Chain A
């Protein structure tokens, strides 16, 4: 139910209906011109109607009939050939907002965009059709293909993460978005962005170390925004949970201004610390490290520069609110390594915003101790080490300066327009997708028995089957035949009965990793000073993602996936580190590598032997996952006894990759379908603008079908065809059946007629009529004639 104010609630309870609406086209109020309107919402699914509450996507449609104003007819104002000054208000793609209610007030009913307009000359009306936010999801669906899942043989994402990612691509956000998503050589760039909304897969960058699923969970309770990674236990030999991501661009140090950040809840987790670490690939085997760590138990922030091997220096800041205030903190750390030298003593600065929105600016500090110096290196990976619930990790580079408090908060940069549900369907490999974002969301909804819809305010809601699997006990609204129900049709069908449910799944548990395609450049590439060379390789769609190659030096070589730079195109030329930013991105069937020389020197992609040094190797699964199936079935169940064995086999796909998930889906399907639940179609009710899809209503019909039950709203159709008259029709699905069949006083007939057939002529009768075989043969009768007629 939508929340309504006192005036509207009072008028609705009184039973009186003086209807009202407001309609805006392109932000302009055209309420007075609306001659009629009709709004329809329902779940679309490939399952029987009775399953609609559990699965499907809903795209609301609004139809409007608009008149002209004054002496100008509607076609003259709004037809496709009308002047742009008036016609653009009704052009396809224009915004439409419709609210409806009573004289006590109006509630949001629809927010979307126009799909088509139709103007008939000679009349004073234009027909308009609008669709809701689903229209925002017509862009191409594109999901990353990280290899870390089958590399570690651990889930790398969930179907829920994929839903969230598709929405983010369409500009619908559930948490602070990437700061600098688009690549522009002259602008900052977000090189890692991981929402942690049900997966370690990343919008930018790619997961490299994926933790054991026994050590963490995904939770919406206590999440800073929508969903958080909640560590349950530390990995062996560590004191926290660790995950790492390769950046999409291996930027260089010295020279980069890096900003790492995350949202954490210090009241959820098993400890009190969280840290973000930047590993830097130095010459040789040593790894540089830049680190921000927050200890909420002591109220301190630490920022460190040194090596992973242990050397270095740290600064600390004391912020007592860290230990005093429990809740969501936004933490960030600026690592400024901008320098023209071959080594830099970084300047660091923490950023903190508390649960109450208070910002705690910390002063910058520049390291002076030699152990904190960072020599030439490239960014290797971002590491999250956490004991606390964490969400929305990102790392940006190329910042012109330290962010302001407003920039740090991303104030005004986004609005929350997405509500997810618990993370389901863990994935070792993200399935390949095609089509629009909405089509893929619909596909995931069907595979996971979920519902997808935009509500009246334009907010997207994703709900798992679990929401409907728990029968509600209290209604949001009561509809009775005495007052509210104008007409009611109740149907029950055997097609809605499913008591033998099979859910196929792809079993990735025995899939390992192996090398895929190898790319060896055949030409030494020359990169002039302060210039970029972009190499584009054809990459098959089924190939998994590749990050930017590592930069080799003369002491350590990363096999298979590397590049080496030298200042001369010759064998034996010394390796150059920390000079070239390497960006990798996947676009239009190609892997694009962009090598940006950040020095004035001319550089070459050449190895120690003078050969081309760009080496790229993809990783792929060692084998195809095995298709298996989970079955939910109770032999001899009551359902089977009364309705027979009713099989349902869900469509096989790539979205279910885990036995537990498959079994849960099969069990949910059987629980929902073991008894055919009635569908109450076309329940005409007294118009109530607060009713929403998914509401639970109590239906009491004392005059007709004699029922009193709770039901889910799975379809709402509201129409105003004449001034002041609004007709509202609901489609409902019962939350439970009318008990178990009893068949009291009935003796159901057997499936086949077991009365013996007429016996026909006996042997004795035939023998009496035809004493000898010759007599019988002489009649020329067939066996059937003799048997049936007794000849």
Chain B
């Protein structure tokens, strides 16, 4: 086994999808290398959609669902924390 890095090939070429099993003669060497291409980017969800309204919660502040208080708005902010 060589300690030298392998040639990278043409970066523009399609990425190979293959499973390579390599002999575990050296414990420092991985015994298996698996490459997976994701059909879609693995980024979850769309950006900027936090705070999706709770379906079980109130649609309008002041009309809370059972066991749910009205939505609490942000009351303050700054550069120095208190807690």
Contact = CB atoms under 8 A, between A and B. Distances in A.
Nearest to B7: A569
Contact of B68 (A359, A400, A602): A359
A401 B65 CA distance: 20
Given A273-B83, A524-B6, A538 B27 contact: yes
B62 interface: no
B34 interface: yes
Given A359-B67, A522-B2, A294 B83 contact: yes
A533 to B, nearest CB: 5
Nearest to A187: B44
A532 B38 contact: yes
Interface string A579-622: 00100000000100000101010101010001110000000000
A533 B33 contact: yes
B44 A612 contact: no
A530 interface: yes
Nearest to A571: B5
Contact of A401 (B2, B29, B31, B49): B49
Contact of B43 (A255, A295, A312, A314): A255
A257 B24 CA distance: 38
A530 B50 contact: no
B37 A317 contact: no
Nearest to B61: A363
Nearest to A605: B5
Contacts of A298: 82-83
Interface string B9-43: 10100010000000010111111111111101111
Interface residues of A, number: 87
Contacts of A538: 24, 27, 31
A348 B54 CA distance: 15
Contact of B50 (A188, A336, A606): A336
A524 B8 contact: yes
Contact of A404 (B28, B55, B79): B55
Nearest to B76: A316
B35 A295 contact: no
A618 to B, nearest CB: 11
A526 B21 CA distance: 16
A54 B11 CA distance: 67
Interface residues of B, number: 60
Contacts, number: 226
Given A358-B68, A363-B72, A400 B45 contact: yes
B34 A533 contact: yes
A453 to B, nearest CB: 36
A402 B27 CA distance: 43
Contact of B45 (A401, A405, A524): A401
Contact of B77 (A316, A362, A530): A316
Nearest to B55: A404
Interface stretch (A167-175, A200-208, A512-520, A670-678): A512-520
A531 B30 CA distance: 19
B67 A364 contact: no
B48 to A, nearest CB: 7
Interface string A298-326: 10101010000001111111110100000
B1 interface: yes
B51 A521 contact: no
Contacts of B44: 188, 256-257, 338, 398-400
B83 A293 contact: yes
Ranked nearest first, the 7 interchain pairs of A and B with the lowest CB-CB distance are A364-B51, A528-B15, A569-B8, A336-B50, A536-B32, A295-B83, A524-B5
29 contacts: A185-B38, A257-B50, A293-B81, A295-B82, A295-B83, A302-B82, A317-B74, A338-B50, A364-B50, A365-B77, A369-B79, A399-B44, A402-B52, A521-B28, A521-B30, A522-B2, A522-B26, A524-B5, A526-B8, A526-B9, A526-B15, A532-B38, A534-B32, A536-B32, A536-B34, A538-B31, A596-B42, A611-B4, A611-B5
